[in-house]
């Protein structure tokens, strides 16, 4: 096996018309090459699962409307509620279900949404349930 003792003492060649390369640029020569830029992101996006939006039954719609009417009457109390709603996915069909817990401030009639005291809103069209928490 050769240990290169005969050339270790030599310096690198220097060229007058070519400035020396920075350490960063030299290291970049050995960095991994991504032949398919964005392929990994595309695979991750394809693997990401979404839920289908479930159609509500008539009795579920009636119960939601009843809870919204009770909420409307109790708004001066700023009741604490949990709203379950659907968030459509921006990139593919479907979406996900989420819950928001907070104190209701008002019902925005113009945008047809519940406004919470923290400023967050949930559209009535995306709601599946409204549950009062506590009193």
Token pair listed for 66: 């009843």
* Tokens read off for 33: 């090459």
Give the long-range contacts of residues 17-20, CB within 8 A, separation 24 or more: none
pLDDT at 84: 95
The CATH number assigned to the domain with range 58-132 reads 2.30.30
pTM over 0.75: no
pLDDT of 103: 95
pLDDT of res. 65 = 93
The percent helix, strand, coil of the chain (3-state, each to 5) is: 30, 30, 45
Q: Rounded to an integer, what distance in angstroms lies between the CA atom of residue 105 and that of residue 79?
A: 8
pLDDT reported for residue 89: 82
Instruction: Please list the pLDDT of the chain residue by residue as tens digits (135 residues).
Output: 678 888 888 887 788 888 888 888 888 877 776 667 777 777 777 777 777 888 899 999 999 999 999 999 999 999 999 999 998 887 778 888 899 999 999 999 999 999 999 999 999 999 999 999 976
Q: What confidence score (pLDDT) does residue 43 get?
A: 77
Picking from 65, 128, 132, 129, the residue whose alpha carbon sits closest to that of residue 103 is 132
């Amino acid at each position: 096996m050769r240990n290169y003792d005969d050339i270790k003492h030599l310096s690198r060649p220097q060229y007058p018309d070519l400035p020396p390369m920075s350490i960063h640029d030299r290291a970049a020569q050995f960095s991994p090459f991504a032949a398919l830029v964005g392929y990994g992101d595309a695979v991750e996006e394809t693997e990401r699962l979404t839920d289908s939006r479930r159609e509500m039954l008539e009795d579920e719609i009636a119960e939601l409307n009843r809870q919204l009417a009770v909420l409307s009457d109790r708004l001066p109390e700023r009741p604490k509620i949990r709203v379950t709603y659907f968030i459509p996915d921006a990139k593919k069909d479907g979406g996900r279900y989420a819950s928001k817990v907070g104190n209701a401030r008002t019902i925005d009639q113009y945008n047809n949404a519940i406004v919470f005291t923290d400023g967050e809103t949930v559209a009535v069209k995306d709601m599946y349930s409204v549950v009062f928490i506590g009193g």
